[in-house]
Amino acid sequence: MEECIKQNVFIVELRHISGMLFDDDRNSIPFPGELEIIEEVVNEVKKACPFPFEFILVITGLKIVGVSHVNKMLDHIRQGKEKFPHLIAGFDLVNEEEFTEPISAFMPEILGAIEDKRAESKTEGMQCFFHAGETHNRNIFNLHDSVLLNTRRIGHGFQLALFPNLIEEVKKRDICVEVCPLSNMVLGYTLDLRTHPVRYLLNYGVQVSISPDDPTFFDYQGVTLDYVFATLAWELDIRDLKKMSLNGITYSSIAQEKRDMMKKDVFPKKWATFIDWLCAYKI
């Protein structure tokens, strides 16, 4: 969080595999205890932050572990929303798409949570933020399943360029694609960012934000480096950068009033400072 704040990131949405903060022999501490620790850290960070800052979790299931694990993550969302509804945005599924089960294999569990109307459940209408389309294989249909499940955003999503009809559906439903340029390059999904499919998607009017993907695993921090590489490779101009930055706020999962405040008060001041620096910079 501190590294993101240094880079003027106002909102951090962290994919989090819940239940991983403690060893197995500490089952006496339930998942809400984990959230207590996270909230304490977030509050400490906010005190020192020079601008309004928001942090929220997307609880993430591992497809490679199977249905029982996914059910556990959905149970954790139920538990967490009981005491900390402001800390949990929704649900995601991850793991390499070409070698793990598709999203459709977990559809009954996900739909069961979304459609659970019991007062004690807390998952009715649960928002999803699916990791999908991180593949060039047109026979994998996680993107289609994500759209069917009303995903708010799509993580990676560059496979979308292979499906013109789905592009139109994504635009119609106003779904934002979280593009992760450095990750796509490091993992070999593109060997040259200048040929990344997102350039095609941008030309077709798909809403895009720039995001990091496991930056600490790849030995960098925050999202600035992703912006630098994307700007150079995709020949982005200042309007593109502003739009993508604003998309990061518009399509975030924090409360609407907080999004409005960020766009009205926080972003314009930071953007003006950036433009002043840019104009004063001499090569």
User: From the centroid of its chain, how far is CA 20?
Assistant: 19
- Closest by alpha carbon to 10, among 230, 175, 209, 229? 209
Can you tell me the distance from the alpha carbon of 89 to that of 15, in angstroms, rounded to the nearest whole number? Answer: 10
Can you tell me the distance from the alpha carbon of 237 to that of 165, in angstroms, rounded to the nearest whole number? Answer: 28
**Residue 206, amino acid:** V
- What was the pLDDT predicted at 23? 47
Out of 76, 144, 156, 196, pick the active-site residue: 156
- What was the pLDDT predicted at 119? 79
Q: Residue 95: phi, psi to the nearest 5?
A: 115, 155
Is-catalytic flag, 156?
Answer: yes
- Tens-digit pLDDT profile for residues 177-193: 999 999 999 999 999 99
- Closest by alpha carbon to 193, among 208, 209, 182? 182
Can you tell me the distance from the alpha carbon of 99 to that of 71, in angstroms, rounded to the nearest whole number? Answer: 21
CATH fold of 2-280: TIM Barrel (3.20.20)
Can you tell me the distance from the alpha carbon of 196 to that of 279, in angstroms, rounded to the nearest whole number? Answer: 29
Is-catalytic flag, 76?
Answer: no
Start-to-end Cα distance in the chain = 31
- Tens-digit pLDDT profile for residues 70-90: 999 999 999 899 889 999 999
Instruction: List Cβ neighbours of 88 (8 Å cut-off, separation of 6 or more).
Output: 56, 57, 58, 59, 77, 80, 81
- What was the pLDDT predicted at 282? 67
- What was the pLDDT predicted at 43? 96
Out of 13, 97, 134, 178, pick the active-site residue: 134
Determine how many CB atoms are found less than 10 A away from the CB of residue 183: 20
Q: What's the average pLDDT block by block, 10 residues per block, for the chain (283 residues)?
A: 92 89 51 86 94 96 95 93 92 95 96 90 93 96 97 96 97 97 94 93 95 86 94 95 96 95 95 93 69
- What was the pLDDT predicted at 22? 54
- Closest by alpha carbon to 142, among 201, 97, 92? 97
Can you tell me the distance from the alpha carbon of 64 to that of 77, in angstroms, rounded to the nearest whole number? Answer: 19
Radius of gyration of the chain (CA): 19
Q: Residue 267 has which token pair? A: 């972003």
Q: Residue 156 has which token pair? A: 């990676």
